[in-house]
Amino acid sequence: MTLATGTTRLATVQDEPPAAMPGGPVDPILVVDHLTMRFGGLTAVGDLSFKVGRGDITALIGPNGAGKTTVFNCITGFYKPTEGMIRLRQEGGETYLLERLPGHDVNRLARVARTFQNIRLFPQMTVLENLLVAMHKPLMRASGFSLAGILGLPVYRRAQEAAIAKAAAWIERIGLTHRADEPAGDLPYGDQRRLEIARAMCTDPVLLCLDEPAAGLNPRESADLNTLLRMIRDEYGTSVLLIEHDMSVVMQISDRIVVLDYGIKIADGTPDEIRNDTRVIAAYLGVDDEEVAAVEAEVGLAGTSAGTTA
């Protein structure tokens, strides 16, 4: 095995060829490897392994309390996993072990961005400022840690103009140009959701993690969200990992779906495979595998499941 060209830094490991996994993505951007997270006696996530394909939209689904958000929190450095590794490999071959990076480096170095179930915009800052905050790192560098910024040197002025242009492009894309200078907290809910995604994208992420982006959206806003996410995947090549309950979003846009129940992976495949998986249906209906057929008949779903009980 030849050594990779990627530079090695703190919390990075040498590149290795992606291990072949039957049915899994060939060139994963993120590999979650035997991840376990325990809170005292409660195992929120147990021995979870899955991969997120580069340039794919991957959905992480499961009933409430299945441990989806815990997985996100481990990926973005909020929790230190009890066991396991989370490996992110960038296109250049640089690999980061996310569970070892401090919070801000998950974004700065590994270039992972995320949103939360609840909206976490900076409500008192304007729409434009919310996006500019996300470009703090390049701006700070250009401003010589604010000195050039206070003095108004051209180097900072140019960086500032570039940042504003980029923010303006995103604001236009999400249709908020006319409200760019209003406090973000004054926007309607659906706009705030889209603004959060735009803000996350302003950090130039390679992996975008969205926690229930469609929660609370009406059907039209959900459709807009689908368009936005497809655009992010196709135009920017950003890989997306999302937690979602809205199956119209999940089934339409996902390239792959990973299903969790009680912290354990019960299925992993394409939307079509997941749609017909008995264990997934059982988990969502809240019954044992054997009773699926009976319950489906009761609720009028008979015939949709392939009925391949283990």
Partner 1 sequence: MEFFAQQFINGLTLGSIYGLIALGYTMVFGIIGMVNFAHGDVFMLSSFIALIFFLILTSWLGLTSVALVFLIVLVLAMILTALWGWAIERVAYRPLRGSFRLAPLISAIGVSIFLSNFVQVVQGARNKPVPPLVRDVIVLYQNEQYTVTLSYKQAIIMTTTALLLAGFWYLVQRTSFGRAQRACEQDRRMAALLGINVDRTISLTFVLGAALAAVAGTLYLLYYGVVSFSDGFVPGVKAFTAAVLGGIGSLPGAVLGGLIIGLIETFWSAYFSIEYKDVAAFLILIVVLIFKPSGILGRPEVEKV
Q: Of the ranges 21-29, 88-96, 100-108, 288-296, which one interacts with partner 1 (CB under 8 A)? A: 100-108
Among 9, 34, 80, 104, binds partner 1 (CB under 8 A): 104
Q: Which residues contact 15 (CB under 8 A, 6 or more apart)?
A: 4, 5, 6, 89, 93, 94, 95
Q: Of the ranges 1-9, 105-113, 255-263, 287-295, which one interacts with partner 1 (CB under 8 A)? A: 105-113
Among 103, 219, 237, 286, binds partner 1 (CB under 8 A): 103
Considering only residues 73-92, where is the footprint of partner 1 by CB under 8 A? Answer: 76, 78
Residue 71 binding partner 1, by CB under 8 A: no
What is the closest distance, in whole angstroms, from the C-beta atom of residue 104 to partner 1 in the complex?
A: 4
Q: Calculate the dihedral angle through the C-alpha atoms of 111, 114, 120, 125, rounding to the nearest 10 degrees.
A: 30
How would you classify the pairing of strands 28-39 and 83-89? antiparallel
What is the closest distance, in whole angstroms, from the C-beta atom of residue 31 to partner 1 in the complex?
A: 21
Among 125, 168, 180, 251, binds partner 1 (CB under 8 A): 125
Structure-token pair, residue 73: 């929190």
Q: With CB under 8 A, what is the number of residues at the site for partner 1?
A: 33
If you write DSSP's letter for every residue of 34-52 in order, what string do you get? Answer: EEEEEETTEEEEEEEEEEE
Among 140, 168, 180, 293, binds partner 1 (CB under 8 A): 140
CA distance 271 to 269: 7
Residue 4 binding partner 1, by CB under 8 A: no
Structure-token pair, residue 52: 């997120």
Task: List the x/- string, 187-216, binding to partner 1 by CB under 8 A.
Answer: ------------xx--x-------------
What is the closest distance, in whole angstroms, from the C-beta atom of residue 263 to partner 1 in the complex?
A: 23
User: Which residue in the block uniquely carries the two structure tokens 């008995």?
Assistant: 278
Residue 120 binding partner 1, by CB under 8 A: yes
Torsion angles phi and psi, residue 102, rounded to 5? -70, 155
Helix axes 189-201, 219-236, angle to 10 degrees: 10
134 Rama class: left (phi>0) / alpha (psi -120 to 50) / beta:
alpha
Binding residues for partner 1, per CB under 8 A? Answer: 76, 78, 103-104, 106-108, 113-114, 116, 120, 122-125, 129, 132-137, 139-140, 143, 145-146, 149-150, 160, 199-200, 203
